[in-house]
Amino acid sequence: MKVNCSKDSLLTGVNTVLKAVSSKNTLPVLQGILVKAEDQHLIFEATDLEMGIRCMVPAHIEKEGVTVLPARIFSDLVRKLPEAPIELELENDILKINYYESNLSLRGFDPDEFPLLPDLNGEETFVLPVDIFKNMIRQTIFACSTEESRPVFTGCLLQIEESNLRVIATDTHRLAYRIAEISNPENCKFQGIIPAKTLNEIYRLLRDDEENLTIRFNEAQILFQFGSVVLLSRLIEGQFPNYKQVIPQSCQTKLFLNTRLFQDSVERASLLARDGNHPNIIKLSVESERLSIDQSSDLGEISEIMNIKKEGNDVNIAFNSKYLLDVLKVIESEEVLVEMSGSYSPGVIRPLDDPNYLYLALPVRTS
């Protein structure tokens, strides 16, 4: 291998694939980044066997070749390189990096031991608008569980059916649901649970100036392709819960709230919701046209009063403040509708001007 390229190209390739490098696998080659010179491009790949990322950057290739370099030291070295033309030269599994009149060398792994990413060619293919999908990820992914003991809750359910695209996430204490209307001329159908780690990486890597991303999938894997990036992920095995059963079809109380004012009040109350007995818990009391957000702890007391528009019954209810703040931060509407049916029934939050999104949170029982 002999390659001439810029530092920016190296940095783009390394930063794109780095999050897919295995941090737990005992196979040394999986702790590396594959670097391949081919057809006037440098190709970077990394995988932890659950998610893999490939990125292609332009370069001047004098001699093709391939190696696998230890990810941590290679990424650190690339960041520290000067802004100068870079020459890469591979000889006997040792990569020489030349710049100015200086050089360094790095010993690589055997590339034959590196598991290459399949392209899922011939599998079903679907195209999604980038802006819609990024927003759907942003408004749902925070509701995924982080407990690995329950894998089906650590990802988002993605459904494609006729002209509907749905993304749903739940950790059993809350649920976020987003639906969008899309073009589906081939009547493609898909249902699978995508790991939150995968969706986080897609969200990080997708650029706003990209219009579409291509999805290919089979029963076990899903592949996302956009720009010069390919990301392959396993699908989580298991049965996602029937989310339709837990969404209330009616309510006894409706509150119409200014999103930002409600968020600010909850944030202030949450600062005092850190005592050991009921951490993060705040109490909401609705009486007539007034909403009181209260918290009392060893740190102090707070009572936030909001004048509101209400329909239905008065109610007293308590929530984990984090569950409220997570959703209020991703709602773009100026007003939200909060629906409740008593102190022990789920609360539902919807943007007032967007019927395609809802968020459900279970209340907390307090003494």
Q: Which residues of the chain have pLDDT under 70?
A: 274-278, 367
Helix (H) or strand (E) holding 62: strand 60-63
d(CA 89, CA 67): 11
Last residue of a domain, one of 178, 208, 243: 243
Considering the entire predicted model, what is its pTM?
Answer: 0.91
Give start and end residues of each alpha helix (H) in the chain: 7-17, 71-80, 130-138, 196-205, 259-270, 321-328
pLDDT at 295: 85
Residues 147 and 175 in one domain: yes
Give the amino acid at 231. L
CB 253 within 8 A of CB 345: no
Q: Give the H or E element holding residue 310.
A: strand 309-312
Per-residue model confidence (pLDDT) at position 133: 95
Q: What whole-number distance in Å separates Cα of residue 343 and Cα of residue 348?
A: 13
The residue segments making up the domain with residue 138 are 124-243
Residue 61 shares a structural domain with residue 28? yes
How does DSSP classify residue 83?
A: S
| Residue 174 burial (10 A CB sphere; 0-12, 13-18, 19+) | buried
The confidence score (pLDDT) of residue 277 equals 60
Identify the pLDDT of residue 15: 97
- In a shared domain, residues 220 and 259: no
The last residue of one of the domains, among 51, 86, 113, is 113
Is residue 366 domain-resident?
Answer: no
Classify residue 45: in a domain, yes or no: yes
Q: From CA 132, how far away is CA 190, in angstroms rounded?
A: 17
Q: According to the model, what pLDDT value does residue 152 have?
A: 96
Decide if 169 is inside a domain: yes
Q: Cα–Cα–Cα angle for 332, 19, 82, nearest 5°? A: 105
Contact in structure between 115 and 36 (CB atoms under 8 Å) = no
CATH, residue 261: 3.10.150.10
Q: What is the pLDDT of residue 328?
A: 98
* Per-residue model confidence as pLDDT tens digits over 193-246: 999 999 999 999 998 878 899 999 998 999 999 999 999 999 999 999 999 999
